[in-house]
A and B are shown apart, each in its own frame.
Chain A
């Protein structure tokens, strides 16, 4: 439908633009008055935090790329050049390097929020699946970014991860040669990884846009997991949640800054201070912490192909989670058994991460196998059955109701309870 927009903005310049391209009206609708459930807790900050991460990573990354050389002869030294010679290069690099960890911690908490409060359930299945796509693209981006400094861990990480594809029968080795552009990880590999590491964040921006577009169709979930019943259950996004997000962003940036300015190498591996040597594998090959749980799943399976499939499967299973969980109650708050089992799942994820740090010997083999077993049991067996067996607690009638009646609020002045308030 063609036609000019009738803009309500008083400023003549904004009005002129808005009439022709209603971005201001859109912003006002989606981020100004957008009706948002009024009972968010701080778990609902983490989507915004992830966006902040993405923006900071892209900006610092662009400036780093201006000084980086994607060539096996030059890459390692160009990083040292950035650290020593480029003005504020150390700052850009530490922000970017630690930013990867910050991005993952924020994203993992964001995903946990979704799992705990049932944000993946109807009608938000597609929103959730777009989120899983974001996670996968993020992982690919992080992996390729880690290769760029061309240290020992970069090189051997790249070798191990690309070799995962060799597990597939018949075509496996051909795929690996294709990924490498040669017969080992070498200059062509580094070149394409740099090209893709620069490209994928912008793909992420696109998928994040779809993620948010879908969110603004379904509306946000909330800690009670029940639908918004009336305008009384909501607040305009601005200023209520712009402020709440700002508080979270400030705290988050402080944490990030502590890593950047005081312990910039704590999350990294000392082996990456050694230039890549294709003839010598370091004694301990360990991925970055955010990949450890998947790495542990891979190593817990004695069969090569099966291990690779389980590792990828641990992520792919998230795509079908909305259909595996048969319970119609979203929030774990009203699911007495799920509320405990989700923590068992978190424990299995943490145990996997812990096992991933250690050599697969003795107790760590047993632990990682048990944790892997529970990881999959939780999704594939427990969730489908639990939905049928579990007796959920009674749900509140509306988001407002427990606030007004139950939780120590006492009687409210007037009779605000059931009267629909006037709100934009």
Chain B
């Protein structure tokens, strides 16, 4: 450290040659510094890593949902990794509306078939977080305002989503995200 200062340079060690010469001492100093840096990193890592999700948090990474009690037209909200997950049992009219929407009208074009599992058209599963600034959109309950497209309506800044969870009216830039999930049976899914 002292060698970085002019004041200390006057005390320059006898091992140093005239300025510009590389000496054994320079090598030793480099090795020592490198060793110290590696050591500091090894010490810092456990501290930093302790702030990552702990094992009990990671253990909550998947949730089983029983779909049997959810009747047509009804939506439920479950919690996965601390986030709301919308599970909606769509009516035939809602499915048709979502499938018939021309992709050209969409802000982020995506076919409805790409947003549901094949053979399970009636179930739309979404991460219930507005892609604008993270509010939870209304519309999962039939009594909620659902906006002009019959899907979801975000109360924070007025973004609107259709029955496939695709954004139809800004300011949200993207469709509602799809969580990873799989059907374990016709009435049971595993999210995560």
Contacts and interface: CB of A to CB of B under 8 A. Distances in A.
Task: Please determine whether chains A and B interact with each other in the same assembly.
Answer: yes
Interface stretch (B51-59, B105-113, B121-129, B177-185): B51-59
A32 B55 CA distance: 46
B8 interface: yes
B2 A63 contact: no
Nearest to A237: B2
Given A28-B2, A81-B56, A238-B2, A89 B50 contact: yes
Contacts of A9: 4-7
Contacts of B4: 9, 11, 14
Contacts of B57: 85
B47 A85 contact: no
Contacts, number: 68
Contact of A67 (B1, B8, B49, B50): B50
Nearest to A25: B7
Contact of B47 (A81, A92, A424): A92
Given A8-B6, A9-B7, A66 B55 contact: no
B2 to A, nearest CB: 5
A280 interface: no
Interface in A255-276: none
Nearest to A15: B6
A239 interface: yes
A85 B55 contact: yes
Given A8-B5, A9-B5, A28-B7, A63 B47 contact: yes
Contacts of B15: none
A377 interface: no
Contact of B11 (A8, A14, A424): A424
Interface centre among A14, A63, A87, A92 (most CB of B within 10 A): A87
Nearest to A10: B6
Contacts of A10: 5-6, 9
A84 interface: yes
A338 B50 CA distance: 51
Contacts of B54: 67, 81, 85-87, 89
B5 A84 contact: no
Interface in A299-320: none
A92 B50 contact: yes
Contacts of B51: 63, 66
Nearest to A87: B49
Interface in A83-115: 84-89, 91-92
Interface string B22-61: 0000000000000000000000001101111011110000
Contact of A92 (B2, B8, B11, B46): B46
B49 A14 contact: no
A59 interface: yes
A362 B92 CA distance: 89
A63 B47 CA distance: 7
B56 A85 contact: yes
A59 B51 CA distance: 13
A24 B5 contact: yes
Nearest to B1: A238
Nearest to B53: A87
B43 to A, nearest CB: 9
B49 to A, nearest CB: 4
A28 B50 contact: no
A70 to B, nearest CB: 18
Nearest to A84: B55
Interface of A: 8-11, 14, 24, 28, 32-33, 59-60, 63, 66-67, 81, 84-89, 91-92, 236, 238-239, 424
Given A85-B54, A88-B46, 16 more contacts: A9-B4, A9-B6, A14-B4, A24-B5, A28-B5, A32-B7, A32-B8, A81-B56, A84-B55, A87-B46, A87-B54, A87-B55, A92-B47, A236-B11, A238-B8, A424-B11
